[in-house]
């Protein structure tokens, strides 16, 4: 299996890149944000619970997200691999993911950290707000999500750096160029079993 995590600030393009990588390498794309939005659309009990957090730009509690992700990941364990998009988002989630994978005797191979500067994130988000129809794509909620990212998610960089799994990718270039860089790093990993340590 080739198991990847992708994370970065809101609007960094991780959803787009995940879909492209999944297609290229035949991986299963597991997006925690999409799983939650599906529940909201269905109007399920879980959907109503999580909507409270999402519309405010806050993280859904770890317990809820862990249950939901595990339940979906279990069915994907015999696939070519999984790309976890938007999960983990807290240190606790990262530790729990490691435990989950260890129990299933599978490995997390690489963690893609997308780097995009704040001005560009803001431009993209205001640009996508009209099409996405997402309640959390507003200026005010964007600011909250940025703060949440910096406080709760950015620490994953250190956690996965210590594991020598982090690949830092600048997400400022056009979509195709960013995908090409990530693919190059994945191919390098598969050949040499090592993750590039410099920003690509
Ligand atoms: P984006 O990449 O645009 O920031 P996502 O689609 O990944 O957005 O997530 C949207 C929202 O769903 C988050 O702001 C958060 O409220 C919730 N969410 C998604 N994944 C997680 C997670 N792993 N832990 C907690 N909340 C999450």
Measured by CA distance, the residue closest to atom 3 of ligand 1 is: 10
pLDDT at 84: 98
pLDDT at 96: 98
Inter-residue contact 129 to 184 (CB < 8 Å): no
Nearest-CA neighbor of 37 among 114, 135, 147, 131?
135
Residue 171 Cβ < 6 Å to ligand 1 = no
Question: For the purposes of burial, counting CB atoms within 10 Å of the CB of 105, is it exposed (0-12), middle (13-18) or buried (19 or more)?
Answer: exposed
Averaged pLDDT, 33-56: 96
Please identify, by atom number, the ligand 1 atom nearest to the C-alpha of residue 93.
Answer: 23
Residue 22 Cβ < 6 Å to ligand 1 = no
pLDDT at 139: 84
Residue 10 Cβ < 6 Å to ligand 1 = yes
- Compare 126 and 182 and report the one with higher pLDDT: 182
In percent, the amount of the chain with pLDDT more than 70 equals: 100
- Compare 62 and 142 and report the one with higher pLDDT: 62
Averaged pLDDT, 22-34: 97
pLDDT tens digits, residue range 116-164?
999 999 888 887 777 777 777 788 888 999 999 999 999 999 999 999 9
Query: What are φ and ψ of residue 169, in 5° steps?
Result: -125, 130
- Count CB-CB contacts under 10 A for residue 173: 13
Separation CA 172–CA 9 (nearest Å): 12
Distance 48 CA to ligand 1 centre (A): 15
Residue-range domains of the chain with CATH: 4-192 (3.40.50.300)
Tokens of 55: 């519309």
Please identify, by atom number, the ligand 1 atom nearest to the C-alpha of residue 149.
Answer: 4
- Count CB-CB contacts under 10 A for residue 88: 25
Residue 53 Cβ < 6 Å to ligand 1 = yes
Find the farthest-apart pair of alpha carbons in the chain and give their distance in angstroms, rounded.
47
Place of tokens 């405010």: 56
Separation CA 150–CA 81 (nearest Å): 29
pLDDT at 137: 77
pLDDT tens digits, residue range 74-121?
999 989 999 999 999 999 999 999 999 999 999 999 999 999 999 999
Separation CA 51–CA 18 (nearest Å): 24
Tokens of 53: 């957090």
Separation CA 94–CA 142 (nearest Å): 23
Whole-structure pTM value: 0.94
pLDDT at 136: 76
In percent, the amount of the chain with pLDDT more than 90 equals: 87
Distance 33 CA to ligand 1 centre (A): 5
């Amino acid at each position: 299996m080739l198991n990847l995590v992708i994370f970065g600030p809101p609007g960094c393009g991780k959803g787009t890149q995940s879909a492209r990588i999944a297609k290229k390498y035949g991986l299963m794309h597991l997006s925690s944000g999409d799983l939650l939005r599906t529940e909201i659309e269905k109007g399920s009990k879980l959907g109503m619970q999580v909507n409270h957090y999402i519309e405010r730009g806050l993280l859904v509690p770890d317990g809820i997200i862990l249950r939901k992700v595990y339940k979906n990941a279990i069915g994907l364990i015999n696939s070519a691999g999984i790309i976890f998009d938007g999960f983990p988002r807290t240190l606790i989630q990262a530790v729990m993911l490691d435990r989950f994978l260890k129990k299933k005797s599978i490995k997390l191979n690489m963690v893609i950290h997308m780097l995009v500067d704040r001005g560009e994130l803001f431009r993209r988000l205001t640009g996508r707000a009209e099409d996405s129809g997402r309640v959390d794509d507003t200026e005010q909620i964007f600011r909250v999500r940025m703060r949440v990212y910096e406080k709760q998610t950015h620490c994953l960089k250190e956690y996965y750096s210590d594991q020598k799994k982090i690949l830092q990718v600048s997400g400022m270039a056009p979509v195709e160029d960013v995908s090409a860089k990530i693919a190059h790093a994945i191919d390098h990993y598969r050949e040499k079993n090592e993750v590039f340590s410099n920003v690509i």
